[in-house]
A and B are shown apart, each in its own frame.
Chain A
């Protein structure tokens, strides 16, 4: 079963089981997909997957219970509803708990988005296998120093989900996605460096297999010869892929769940200047170019464009219905979840307002800066409560406006608060990436770099 109408009909039947003053919400999803991995000229594996599941929330007198199952069999659904109901009895009442109310979805038009490409239903297995094998060949051919392709993969997915609650709120959606990705190893004597590249789209015509092959090879080979360098204070230029993960951290500090529970450095700073005046941070799931685009959030609330930081000033937090009620700000259509969890808060389509400078111009204007190709330890080394930022990095020194000496085993430290204030250039090269954010070349001044 993959038709969203069928999933919605099932969700509604579950929601209708609400008894007395109970509120019941059912979130149902189903997906299927293929993954082909090529290695050494052969298909290493071909995986055919299909999964489905249901998550049920029961709220009674402000007490919330939850249960989920990886099956839509009627007996399993019965047991899941019973478990959620039983669990609710042991939670403490919270006045802001409850499923989405009809008035919370009013006044915001549901965006028109077509995330479904019927062509994906007709792609044969042979074609998928051929793409994976061809990607591997292209990766090897892209540079003589690429001796090994660690993985070359084709993947696709077709998914549908629906949500319905006993107050009459309902929504459904379906989407297709496909991707090519590769990890290559570049060798020079004893030294090895890895690089990866990808191409992602909603149907095969969106994919270009030369892009991941060339990107992976470039990212691996340009690190060959990496050395350790002494520490100093340094300006950095973030590669678009890296800037997307930096934006994710900032968005996390704008997460209403963190804010209402006092777990964000931004909790009491609404209206203040938190960044340099070129920083405008937006989450816009109604943008069809964003891979995280969605008509509704995971509580059935229509999505919308949310501006969290405008010209450096903190203007808005993201909320689901719970944090929206608790903060008084109302939901921003930012509920996110999987089948196995209750709705949290999150961004789907994050981007900075792009600037006017090309990446080349930013490099030319950043003498002696460090170009950061990747951060490592981003989640352990950063803290959006305190703002501490201390992570490992690989990259290249910028000399005469161009990428020069690669460096390894360095760390970069600062606080997130100062980094936002020190954003000194934003590129014009906005690129939507998988994972819910757009990347852009970004310069941040005055980091502490430690090295050898």
Chain B
């Protein structure tokens, strides 16, 4: 892969950034291309393409980080941004002489097989039409279908005064279907949007028809759904469905920046039992094909598999370069940013709860009465208290050890650390979910995964009288 910017120019930019002092300086260069198409109401609505490139420069001096960015990658543009970052880094503190560059040789999690740009637009548009047809065939109650594809290619280059010089290229592809169905109880919606960090080989395993059928079935199922029960119930989360819950309710609390600001319930608990012994939680930036995978993070550090909780014991937090430097340890490869115009911070990549030994069928059969969740909507967590709330977009009652009626309008509400302790069965299956994780106004692609598992008791907020 050719360099986005000549390393000699990056060297001069770092020197400019450090000219008024500072212990650390970094240049992050990004070139991002995206394309997508949307289908709605029986027709291809629009195709779009986007291009964004630029560099973000940061200087750390004492306790203060100065940051500036530019979309001008010329020598003059980079020098101007470096000078602005230098002026913004106003803290006291020492100075450092930049070290010579050494290229970071980080293994890629997987190779991209088919460049999305190589596929003719007409062929892409045809996929949208197939999805529309499949969704409408799923049932006569289907009223509206919209479908879309999105592809993105992101090239980055990072250089810093510690001598790091690294580059990476990631490609992401996603296909989305949203459906509205109408029945006696009014309108219901269903959606499905699997995403992977792969090229057009995505469609070797995901078909427009499969995505469309899943979304359509979801909407149709809800037409027959009964109001969800309320109160404390056992909750079984189907494989893949609940990863986002652990991402939100536990993962964020394990980010070192929140821990150091006393905004995490997990502060000071390394080495302690914080979860059921059945629980092992891992963040793995190298998990092949997954939405949050890359060779390096956005600070040039190799992505890695980091065990956060092992058999219930808290083993480590996730770290970016800045927090790791202050703690006198190495980064865990979790420094990420949305674009070149944003400062990096501690972020998750692919976070999952490892599979266990139980047969998923046995977990359901062993539950007398409870809720079986197949898809969760978004959620929210207060990392300081650990309290979370999640919307449930597809769920069923479990009665007498069997999955029975679909339910609607349910919320799961609880506390992250308490929920981890209440997991009493972990299946031997596994699946993931792709999404955008928001923190401090920045969104980055992540995946979350988990086997089918049961939480002994969780508050379900439904509308049943």
Contact = CB atoms under 8 A, between A and B. Distances in A.
Given A70-B54, A412-B461, A379 B378 contact: yes
Interface string A314-346: 000000000000000000000000001110000
A79 interface: yes
A90 B88 contact: no
Given A91-B46, A392-B411, A44 B391 contact: no
Interface stretch (A59-67, A360-368, A395-403, A421-429): A59-67
A268 to B, nearest CB: 11
A48 B71 contact: no
A379 B391 CA distance: 8
Interface residues of A, number: 78
A262 interface: yes
A110 interface: no
B76 to A, nearest CB: 13
A41 to B, nearest CB: 9
Among A66, A89, A129, A386, the most chain B Cβ lie within 10 Å of the Cβ of A386
B343 A45 contact: yes
B338 to A, nearest CB: 13
A67 B48 contact: yes
Interface in B124-151: 125, 143-144, 146
Interface in A58-88: 64-71, 76, 79-80, 83-84, 86-88
A50 B262 CA distance: 32
Contact of B463 (A66, A390, A409): A390
B261 A150 contact: yes
A450 B409 contact: no
A68 B41 CA distance: 24
B53 A70 contact: yes
B99 interface: no
Interface stretch (B12-20, B307-315, B381-389): B381-389
Contact of B409 (A53, A148, A261, A413): A413
Contacts of B41: 261
Contacts of A389: 409
B93 to A, nearest CB: 11
A262 B141 CA distance: 13
Given A90-B121, A261-B41, A68 B461 contact: no
Given A231-B230, A390-B409, A411-B413, A47 B48 contact: no
B428 interface: no
B304 to A, nearest CB: 26
B379 A377 contact: yes
B188 A386 contact: yes
Given A90-B121, A150-B263, A48 B232 contact: no
B346 interface: no
Interface stretch (B1-9, B61-69, B104-112, B288-296): B61-69
B15 to A, nearest CB: 19
B48 A380 contact: no
Contacts of B188: 383, 385-386
Nearest to A41: B63
A76 B231 CA distance: 57
B46 A50 contact: no
Given A448-B230, A451-B459, A90 B409 contact: no
B44 A90 contact: yes
A408 interface: yes
Interface in B271-316: none
A286 B222 CA distance: 41
A66 B389 contact: no
B43 A94 contact: yes
B165 interface: no
Contacts of B465: 448
Contacts of A147: 262
A44 B63 contact: yes
A198 B140 CA distance: 50
A67 B50 contact: yes
B64 A452 contact: no
A166 interface: no
B166 interface: no
A64 B45 contact: yes
Contacts of A87: 46-49, 121
B220 interface: no
Nearest to B187: A385
A59 B339 CA distance: 30
Contacts of B410: 390
Interface string A422-451: 000000000000000000000000001011
Nearest to A183: B263
Contacts of B459: 409, 411, 450-452
Interface in B80-96: 84-85, 87-91
A62 B370 CA distance: 52
A44 B49 contact: no
A242 interface: no
Interface in B358-373: none
A388 B409 contact: yes
B47 A66 contact: yes
A42 B64 contact: yes
A381 interface: yes
Nearest to A231: B230
A119 interface: no
Contacts of A390: 228, 391, 409-411, 461-463
A28 to B, nearest CB: 14
Contacts of A411: 230, 389, 411, 413, 459, 461
11 contacts: A43-B90, A45-B66, A49-B69, A89-B121, A147-B262, A148-B261, A150-B384, A194-B263, A377-B391, A386-B188, A389-B409
Given A53-B52, A71-B54, A380-B376, 14 more contacts: A42-B91, A45-B343, A70-B51, A79-B51, A87-B49, A89-B121, A91-B46, A147-B262, A261-B144, A376-B388, A380-B378, A381-B411, A386-B189, A392-B411
Interface of A: 39-40, 42-53, 64-71, 76, 79-80, 83-84, 86-92, 94, 125, 129, 147-148, 150, 185, 192-194, 231, 261-263, 265, 340-342, 376-377, 379-381, 383, 385-392, 394, 408-414, 448, 450-452
Smallest CB-CB A-B distances: 4 pairs:
A411-B461, A380-B391, A392-B389, A380-B377
Interface of B: 37, 40-41, 43-54, 62-71, 84-85, 87-91, 121-122, 125, 143-144, 146, 180, 186-189, 222, 228, 230-232, 261-263, 341, 343, 376-380, 382, 384-385, 387-391, 393, 408-411, 413-415, 459-463, 465
